[in-house]
């Protein structure tokens, strides 16, 4: 029979580094120690960038990261973020901030890789979601982890299981990387065909975006403000409402819709409608995310924090979105922040955006190339989803006795 242990029995909980603003910097300073924050934990991986650098005297020896440590976001205002975790799988000279904690597994009791995989399991996420479901639970404490239990087979069996999970995880990560390479390929094709817009090596004529709108009135539209569309007017089914979550950071339309209004409400907001080929742009959150709308589902409208751009026949929406995604730091006076998003986006900014205008036949040629790559990409996405499902099935089998 497999033993069951609480997480706290299998390692040490370490609190993150606290520091004064005068003891830290977001810019690299020699001899300062890089410190991870909750934002460095993404999709079960540690992102080794965008650190805060802290004076070494503020960091205790025990707070220095060790290979095998699991870093967890333990204090946050977001229920979605709290509890997200990732394992340090390489030697790294750094630490972690006060809004995080680290679990350091006892290697005499548990294999570090097996331990790390537990924190990516659905059982862990479900338990964390349950513990943080109370209105005032925004901090994970030691007693919360007393309630987390993990099946503990013999150490050699743990190592064998971890190797199996490693192989399954490597397959799905490889497929995801290959999908990313297709995105890189499209960017290289774009630059080969059209060149850097700041340099304009093809000597295309310069135009303002407003010259290429379908017409002056309908070229751009901000979403409805204030009392025009209140939260209480959303319903569980009806006419879809676009929001920022329907746009990916890579320029793709993301489904499903999650907000709807009644047909009657749509009638009063028809000016904010979306048709096939419209460009939808976020002006809050990740500012400047955009995609080309594909409206097979019929009627829909944009929400408050979005801008709709409706182009005429001389500019392909795909070309414009690709230009903005691939060359965002090379366009006029547009500026981006540390996260890569635009710092500001408005209809006025869009109206006056100047860029090189390539011939329509060249835009169409790029669109055909994109369609071919996207068809390959969609097949790979389906394969990646299948690999994810297989990995999660393995995880479920391994951790099915978790409580």
Determine the pLDDT at residue 261: 97
Pairwise pLDDT comparison (40 vs 334), residue with the higher score: 40
- Rounded to an integer, the average pLDDT of 234-257 is 94
CA-CA-CA-CA torsion sign (219, 225, 228, 229): positive
Secondary-structure class of domain 3-152 per CATH: alpha beta
- Rounded to an integer, the average pLDDT of 329-349 is 79
The ranges assigned to domains in the chain are 3-152, 205-357
Pairwise pLDDT comparison (327 vs 143), residue with the higher score: 327
Pairwise pLDDT comparison (226 vs 369), residue with the higher score: 369
Domain covering 205-357: architecture: Alpha-Beta Complex (3.90)
- pLDDT at position 335 over 60: yes
**To the nearest whole percent, how much of the chain has pLDDT over 70?**
96
- Rounded to an integer, the average pLDDT of 373-401 is 94
- The answer for residues whose C-beta is within 8 angstroms of residue 310's C-beta and 6 or more apart is 213, 214, 218, 219, 220, 221, 275, 277, 278, 279
- The answer for residues whose C-beta is within 8 angstroms of residue 110's C-beta and 6 or more apart is 10, 11, 152, 155, 158
Determine the pLDDT at residue 402: 63
Q: Report residue 205's pLDDT band, with 50, 70 and 90 as the boundaries.
A: very high
Determine the pLDDT at residue 401: 67
In contact, 219 and 213? CB cutoff 8 Å = yes
**To the nearest whole percent, how much of the chain has pLDDT over 90?**
81
Task: Say what the pTM is.
Answer: 0.78
- pLDDT at position 403 over 60: no
DSSP 234-279: -BSSSEEEE-GGGB-TTS-B------EE-HHHHHHTGGGB--TT-E
Give the least confident one: 81-85, 113-117, 315-319.
Answer: 81-85
Determine the pLDDT at residue 323: 97
Q: Report residue 161's pLDDT band, with 50, 70 and 90 as the boundaries.
A: very high
Determine the pLDDT at residue 137: 54
Determine the pLDDT at residue 339: 64
**DSSP code at position 107:** T
Q: Please state, in angstroms and as integers, the Cα–Cα distance from residue 376 to each residue in 48, 370, 383, following that order.
A: 31, 10, 11
- pLDDT at position 102 over 90: yes
Q: What is the CA radius of gyration of the chain?
A: 25
Determine the pLDDT at residue 55: 97
- pLDDT at position 257 over 80: yes
pLDDT one-digit tens code per residue, 130-153: 876 654 556 788 788 888 899 999
Q: Report residue 210's pLDDT band, with 50, 70 and 90 as the boundaries.
A: very high
At residue 81, the 3 state secondary structure works out as coil
- 217 alpha-carbon distance from chain centroid: 34
Cα torsion for 45, 80, 122, 183, to the nearest 10°? -50
Average pLDDT value for the chain: 92
At residue 128, the 3 state secondary structure works out as helix
Pairwise pLDDT comparison (194 vs 250), residue with the higher score: 194
Whether 3-152 and 205-357 share one fold: the answer is yes
- Rounded to an integer, the average pLDDT of 280-304 is 92
Determine the pLDDT at residue 400: 84
**What's the first-to-final CA gap in the chain, in angstroms?**
16
Helix-helix angle 360-398:122-131, to 10 degrees: 90
Determine the pLDDT at residue 344: 81
């Amino acid at each position: 029979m497999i033993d069951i242990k609480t997480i706290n029995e299998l390692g040490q909980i370490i609190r993150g580094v606290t520091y004064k603003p005068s003891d830290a910097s977001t810019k690299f300073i020699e001899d300062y120690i890089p410190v991870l924050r909750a934002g460095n934990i993404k999709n079960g991986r540690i992102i080794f960038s965008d650190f805060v650098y802290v004076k070494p005297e503020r960091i205790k020896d025990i707070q220095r990261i060790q290979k095998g440590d699991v870093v967890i976001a333990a204090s946050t205002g977001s229920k979605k973020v709290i509890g997200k975790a990732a394992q340090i799988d390489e030697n790294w000279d750094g630490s972690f901030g006060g809004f995080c904690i680290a679990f350091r597994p006892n290697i005499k009791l548990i294999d570090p890789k097996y331990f790390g995989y537990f924190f990516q399991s659905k059982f862990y996420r479900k338990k964390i979601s349950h513990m943080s479901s109370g209105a005032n639970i925004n901090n994970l404490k030691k007693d919360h982890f007393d309630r987390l239990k993990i099946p503990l087979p013999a150490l050699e069996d743990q190592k064998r299981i971890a190797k199996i999970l490693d192989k399954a995880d490597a397959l799905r990560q490889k497929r995801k990387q290959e999908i990313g390479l297709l995105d890189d390929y499209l960017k290289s094709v774009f630059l080969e065909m059209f060149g850097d817009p700041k340099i304009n090596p093809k000597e295309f004529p310069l135009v303002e975006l407003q010259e290429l709108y379908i017409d002056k009135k309908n070229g751009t539209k901000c979403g409805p403000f204030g009392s025009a569309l209140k939260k209480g007017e959303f319903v569980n089914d009806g006419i879809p409402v676009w929001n920022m979550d329907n746009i990916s950071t890579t320029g793709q339309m993301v489904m499903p819709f999650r907000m709807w209004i009644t047909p009657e409400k749509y009638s009063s907001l028809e000016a904010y409608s979306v048709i096939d080929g419209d460009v939808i742009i976020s002006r809050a959150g990740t500012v400047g995310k955009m995609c080309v709308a594909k409206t097979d589902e019929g009627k829909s409208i944009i929400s408050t924090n979005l801008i709709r751009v409706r182009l005429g026949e001389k500019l392909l929406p795909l070309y414009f979105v690709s230009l903005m995604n691939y060359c965002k730091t090379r366009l006029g006076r547009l500026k981006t922040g540390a996260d890569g998003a635009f710092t500001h986006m408005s209809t006025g900014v869009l109206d006056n955006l100047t860029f090189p205008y390539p011939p329509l036949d060249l835009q169409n040629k790029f669109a055909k190339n994109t369609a071919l790559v996207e068809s390959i990409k969609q097949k790979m996405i389906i394969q990646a989803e299948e690999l994810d499902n297989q990995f999660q099935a393995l995880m479920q089998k391994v951790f099915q006795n978790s409580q």
